[in-house]
Copies of this chain bind each other. A is one copy, B any other.
Amino acid sequence: MPKRENPTIKDVAKLAGVSIATVSRVLNKLGVVNPETEQKVQGAVAKLNYQPNAVARSLKLNRTRSIGVLLPEVSNTFFTEIVEQLEHLLSPKGYALLVCSSENSVDEEKRKLSFLLERNVDGLVVIAVSDEGSHFAEVDVPMVMLDRKIEGLGRDVIISDNRASAYEVTCALIDEGRSRIGFLGGDPHVHTSVERYRGFVDAIEERALVLDERFVLHEGMTMKSGYTLMEKALSFEDCPDAFFVVNDMVHIGATTFLMANAAREVRRRMAFASFDYLHYAPLLQFCHYAVAQPLEKMANRAVQLLTRRMEGDLKDFPSTTVFQPSIVAMKDREGSASNGTLPPRFNKEFS
């Protein structure tokens, strides 16, 4: 389809026999117009199927009504649940979401950041790639950092209490009677990974358990990594029968390895506690405790802060909001899985 010329406000004005100023006033309901004139204008608008040109308006008003969303990865359910919420909250307000992936690279993050700024986004929601975030310092539009905190950046931050929740689920494993617990972690430059490790250690120390270095394993936050780390752990005779797993992806990888390679006896006894409780959580058969982050609330808060800053009626210092996740007990699921243990959003429509 060739790009047909759209009617402009001039066309409407001509057809209605008024000036463009009047048309604009009618459309924006600003100032007063004679009801009769309004009728004429509306008629012309309808006849021409006129839609105001958002670009021109943006230029004039210096406001694009678009929000940049910068994520490490697009195809990660944890992130996209957040994007979905953001979209749900912002689109009724007339905002469009410009979604950019930093592809887990700081360089790409920089590029995408300036790409978004060039496009004059009114605000930014950022899930940072790592703790290196100096490029965010000079951003001069309202911006909210979600899920991952970067130190020393004077910005609104919205996170979960990673440390406390990691502590809690580790304790839950201990309370189950597990005394040797391994750790399958992620990138030491990612805020969430670090905090969760701290929480894990908190629990181990508080309960005076030993922390066997052979089973404290760090790599990336990928499935691949979970797979190989689990393989490595299992290569030891005395592999623990419980692990704290830093997130979903590592969890899937580890579970995949176990399903395919571990002896029945090992599988029977294995217990995981981990972060994230997304739609495929019921499939994670070794998961006894999951940390469910309040994604809706977090997105809500992000939108609230962002819109208030954009409207300029929030001049306060940047705030840090820490949400308390809930812990989901999933053990003994055989024969007991009521809908109560199903993840949120279980009945959504899909492809």
CB neighbours of A15 from chain B (8 A): none
Chain A, 236-289, CB within 8 A of any chain B CB = 247-249, 252-253, 255-257, 259-261, 276, 279-280, 282-285
CB neighbours of A142 from chain B (8 A): 1
Chain A, 214-251, CB within 8 A of any chain B CB = 220-225, 227, 247-249
**Interface contact B74-A75, CB-CB below 8 Å:** no
Bound complex: CA of A350 vs CA of B75, how far in Å? 9
Q: Does A53 contact B (CB under 8 A)?
A: yes
Stretch in A99-107, A170-178, A198-206 with 4+ CB within 8 Å of B: A99-107
Bound complex: CA of A174 vs CA of B75, how far in Å? 34
**Interface contact B87-A99, CB-CB below 8 Å:** yes
B87, B117, B345: the one contacting A101 at CB < 8 Å is B87
- Number of A residues near B (Cβ < 8 Å) is 98
**Interface contact B256-A342, CB-CB below 8 Å:** yes
Closest to A253 in B: B346
A51 with B114: in contact, given A83-B74, A99-B83, A350-B221 (CB under 8 Å)?
Answer: yes
Closest to A338 in B: B260
17 contacts between A and B (CB under 8 A): A1-B143, A55-B120, A59-B59, A75-B77, A75-B279, A76-B351, A77-B77, A96-B119, A99-B99, A104-B348, A127-B351, A220-B349, A249-B350, A252-B282, A252-B283, A257-B337, A259-B283
**9 extra interface residue pairs, beta carbon distance < 8 Å, beyond A55-B59, A73-B351:** A51-B114, A52-B118, A73-B348, A73-B349, A74-B84, A75-B77, A75-B279, A91-B100, A255-B282
Which 3 A/B pairs are nearest by Cβ-Cβ distance?
A260-B337, A224-B347, A104-B349
Q: Which residues of A contact B (CB under 8 A)?
A: 1-4, 51-56, 58-59, 62, 64, 66, 72-81, 83-84, 87-88, 91, 96-101, 103-104, 112, 114-120, 127, 139-143, 147-148, 187, 190, 192, 220-225, 227, 247-249, 252-253, 255-257, 259-261, 276, 279-280, 282-285, 309, 312, 333-337, 339, 342, 345-351
